[in-house]
Amino acid sequence: MDLRPFIRQLEDAGELKLVEGADWNLEMGTLTEMVNEKRGPALLFDQIRGYPKGYRVVTNLTSTPARLAAAFGLPLDIAHVELVRAIKDKFKDLKPIDPVYVPNGPVLENVYGEGEIDMWKFPAPKWHEYDGGRYIGTGDMVITRDPIGGWVNAGTYRVEVHDRDTLALFISPGHHGRIIRESYWAQGKSCPVAVVFGAHPMVSMPSFLAFPWGVEEYGMAGGLLGEPLQLITGEYTGLPIPAYAEIAIEGECPPPEVESRKEGPFAEWTGYYASGERTEPVIKVKRIMHRNSFIIDGRPPLKPPCNSTCSYITRASDIWYELERLGLPGIKGVWNFRSSASHYFIVVSIEQKYAGHAKQVGMAAMSGSEGAYHGRFVIVVDEDIDPSNEEDVIWAVATRCDPATSLEVISGCWSTPLDPTIPPEKKAKGDYTNSRAIILAVRPYHWRKDFPRVSRASDQLRAEARKRWPDLLRTE
């Protein structure tokens, strides 16, 4: 449950690069983006300009399938769809393990209270050229407790530094943290909140995913770790905080009419500055805790095909699990295109079992807790198509999809203020909905056996060729 051994594991595998002397003002973000574009190593920034040695930021921590596999304890060279399957199976078989509370932990090595708060002591980067400020929270965990049910939620939401004791907290509509925050405000109360800015990927992973209301992410993290997550109790909020967190703060979110500030703009995972600058609620910081030589987990959103979290893989695994949970047969693979911000193209490979099966799968894929949020296209393909091979998928769309009969458009779907296609007049009304298209790129069920044969060398012929001509067919 400690981030540091994982970082050492990446270093030993040649998957980490130390970068010293970079500037927090745009240079760290630019380097993160450019290395991500060529799927290079994770970057550990130290001796950041204006900050002492040991005030560190790590980026691209799980931005490649290999490093995501390492975080899950899987082989670094696992095939892409098999990685999705393995992660799906982990969550399918996952048994939550309740956390345990401990009296102390590394996060308490340095503690600051009233009169000592200074968020500027941390090297929060300005990630993108037109960002409205410095964002310390991109790979964070925002922790709240539902005032009605009493359960603890951990979600990943963006956090901007305003001043020494004030942070901005943007949460998109529909997310659990926003619903919980508004429950406190409805009672005229401030919402207690804690935020973690560095943790092992398996501790923070559940914060990135969409679990049902009332499911505690800490229990899911324990299930992923195979042992109870160790927590301390926050002195100011009473909220549980991972004992091995790198940095944690405690504070409260006052009702927006008490205090709000301008937040943004911020470049988001869609590849656009779609949400602009607007007034958002704040966190008033009351307590800071951090480890010696701390490490901030920096996961800035980047223009696709860059992706700082490999969310296109974890999202695909979640959608696959949702489809199986519904009892849909014949699911052979699920993928999200890396080049399309992970939400825009869901691809499902199926072995058709009955008439209407493909359309049923397409509808289901865009309706679960993961697939419903801010999608655009769901593509259903046959089992002979590798959903992770974009060229294969486009070929299937081009040759098996009849636009007059194989497209369905659904309106009024759940989206987000970050959606660049929502016109200003809809956003002004708070109408954050969009449309979805289901593309059936499958052989028509009723005459699928008469569909023209694919002109490709069989797997047997290919195996024989590889054996006879290894040098000619070497892929390195």
Asked whether residue 118 carries a pLDDT value surpassing 90, the answer given is: yes
Exposure b/e, 253-285, CB count within 10 A at least 16 = b: bbbeeeeeeebbbbbbbbbbbbbeeeebbbbbb
Q: What is the pLDDT of residue 342?
A: 61
Question: Which one of 263, 298, 333 terminates a domain?
Answer: 298
Q: Answer yes or no: do 230 and 195 share one domain.
A: yes
Has residue 79 been placed in a domain?
Answer: no
Report the CATH number that the domain containing residue 208 is assigned in CATH. 2.30.110.10
Q: What six digits make up the tokens of 112?
A: 């600051």
State pLDDT tens for residues 426-452.
988 989 999 999 999 999 999 999 999
What would the pLDDT profile of 184-238 be if each residue is shown by its tens digit?
999 999 999 999 999 999 999 888 877 888 889 999 999 999 999 999 999 999 9
Q: Are residues 135 and 234 in the same domain?
A: yes
DSSP 183-228: HHHHTT-PEEEEEES---HHHHHHHHS-PPTT--HHHHHHHHHTSP
What is the per-residue pLDDT across 8-39, written as a single tens digit (0 to 9) for each? Answer: 999 999 999 999 999 999 999 999 999 998 99
Tell whether 258 is covered by a domain.
Answer: yes
Sheet order of strands, 100-101 included: 100-101, 230-233, 240-242
- CATH number of the domain at 418, please: 3.40.1670.10
**Are both 202 and 250 inside the same structural domain?**
yes
Q: Are residues 254 and 232 in the same domain?
A: yes
Task: Give SS3 for 154.
Answer: strand
Percent of the chain's residues with pLDDT above 70: 99
